[in-house]
């Protein structure tokens, strides 16, 4: 009986306590919980949204913290308690710089109100600012400004010719002739349209890469410099890159079935820990499991510290061959990772990469 009486009193106490809290706790009420900025211009800078609210409860309201879902939005609010009936503002400042396109951000507010958290939302669309000529043509070379100074051709088949176009503008005061120095690169040709430019005139540089003349495999890089009225432009280096591959697209199913196939079962070598100056050596064995001669097109290490000695360039079907890789560790310390790329006439797996990893310990002083 005593136990029942105690439980009854406890339940009554909880009910009274809850009822009292409801009568004395603050309540936060917003006029709106979302704001659409519409279209904002990036050039116009920050945009502000004010969220008005009131304490419609019976106790003082305290905004404890406000968190934005993005660092592009900052929030300002009054830190002092709001008495019942008082009004306040949550000021959300949105920075559109670098935020082009449509956006939607959330601001979460925490308080001592009956509902302890409220989520506000801002959205809109940021219109990219109008770029200046200097921003568009952001690579200055002499009296010229280029959109970029790198012609990246990506994959190029070994019998293919590709052309890339780079835009530029002339900022000099008199008409000028633009040209380039070939430096004996027969696989590259460059044409300027127009070749003679007037002040503020725009032009095109057409860079043509001939993979057949280059006669190489894998990732290759060429460079050339520009001239202005047949005189060198200091620092005017233009870089050209391509990854030369064999075109296996025309092979029939029968040709693929009778093609060579490289099988290198263990392409990774961890040498563990060694002391600086020690030579790392590893022999990688592979087999031609196909039905035609496997041709080693190229073996290329990732750095000059690695040398490779292939045993054979042509491997008959069912035959096994190897190549030795050695890495000089002078000047290295800590974890290192080197690689060797093998390019073959295997249409299924024309590029194989082996990796050499480990730790080089510096000599103790």
Q: What is the mean pLDDT of residues 357-361?
A: 94
The DSSP H or E segment spanning 5 is helix 2-24
**Per-residue pLDDT for 291 more than 60?**
yes
Given a contact cutoff of 8 angstroms between Cβ atoms, the answer to whether 155 and 189 are in contact is no
Q: What is the mean pLDDT of residues 19-40?
A: 83
List domains and CATH numbers for the chain.
Answer: 27-127 (2.60.40.10), 133-245 (2.60.40.10), 253-361 (2.60.40.10)
Proportion of the chain above pLDDT 70, given as a percent: 93
**Per-residue pLDDT for 3 more than 50?**
no
Length in residues, the chain:
365
Given a contact cutoff of 8 angstroms between Cβ atoms, the answer to whether 333 and 309 are in contact is no
Q: Is there a cis peptide before residue 9, judged by omega within 30 degrees of 0?
A: no
Pairing mode of beta strands 101-111, 139-141: unpaired
pLDDT, tens digit, for every residue of 201-240?
999 999 999 999 999 999 999 999 999 999 999 999 999 9
Sequence-distant (≥ 6) Cβ neighbours of residue 318 within 8 angstroms: 287, 288, 289
Q: Is there a cis peptide before residue 148, judged by omega within 30 degrees of 0?
A: no
Please tell me the predicted confidence (pLDDT) of residue 245.
94
pLDDT, tens digit, for every residue of 152-193?
999 999 999 999 999 999 999 999 999 999 777 889 999 999
Proportion of the chain above pLDDT 90, given as a percent: 83
> What is the DSSP code (8-state) at residue 363?
P
Please tell me the predicted confidence (pLDDT) of residue 156.
96
pLDDT, tens digit, for every residue of 87-140?
999 999 999 998 999 999 999 999 999 989 999 999 999 998 888 899 999 999
Please tell me the predicted confidence (pLDDT) of residue 365.
61
């Amino acid at each position: 009986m005593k136990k029942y009486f105690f439980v009854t009193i406890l339940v009554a106490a909880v009910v009274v306590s809850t009822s009292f809290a409801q009568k004395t706790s603050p309540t936060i009420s917003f006029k709106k919980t979302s704001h659409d900025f519409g279209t904002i211009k990036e050039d116009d800078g920050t945009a502000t949204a004010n969220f008005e609210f009131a304490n419609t409860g019976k106790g003082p309201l305290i905004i404890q913290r406000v968190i934005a879902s993005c660092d592009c939005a900052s929030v300002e609010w009054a830190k002092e308690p709001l008495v019942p009936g008082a009004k306040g503002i949550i000021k959300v400042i949105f920075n559109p710089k670098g935020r082009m396109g449509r956006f939607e951000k959330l601001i979460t507010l925490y308080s001592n109100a009956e509902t302890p958290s409220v989520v506000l939302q801002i959205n809109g669309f940021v219109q990219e600012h109008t770029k200046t000529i200097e921003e568009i043509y952001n690579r200055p070379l002499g009296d010229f400004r280029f959109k970029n100074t790198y012609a990246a051709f990506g994959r190029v088949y070994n019998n293919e010719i590709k052309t890339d176009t780079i835009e530029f503008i002339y900022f000099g005061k008199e008409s000028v002739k633009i040209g380039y120095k070939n430096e004996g690169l027969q696989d590259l040709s460059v044409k300027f349209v127009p070749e003679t430019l007037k002040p503020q005139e725009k032009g095109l540089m057409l860079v043509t890469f001939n993979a057949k003349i280059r006669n190489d495999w894998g990732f290759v890089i060429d460079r050339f410099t520009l001239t202005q009225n047949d005189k060198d432009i200091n620092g005017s280096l233009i870089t050209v890159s391509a990854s030369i591959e064999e075109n296996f697209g025309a092979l029939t199913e029968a040709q693929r079935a009778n093609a060579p196939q490289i099988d290198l079962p263990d392409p990774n070598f961890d040498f563990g820990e060694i002391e600086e100056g020690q030579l790392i050596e590893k022999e990688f064995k592979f087999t031609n499991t196909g039905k035609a001669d496997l041709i080693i097109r190229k073996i290329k290490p990732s750095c000059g510290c690695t040398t490779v000695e292939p045993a054979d360039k042509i491997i008959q079907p069912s035959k096994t061959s190897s190549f030795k890789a050695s890495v000089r560790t002078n000047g290295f310390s800590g974890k290192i990772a080197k690689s060797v790329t093998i390019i073959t006439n295997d249409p299924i797996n024309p590029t194989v990469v082996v990796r050499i990893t480990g730790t080089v310990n510096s000599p103790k002083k």
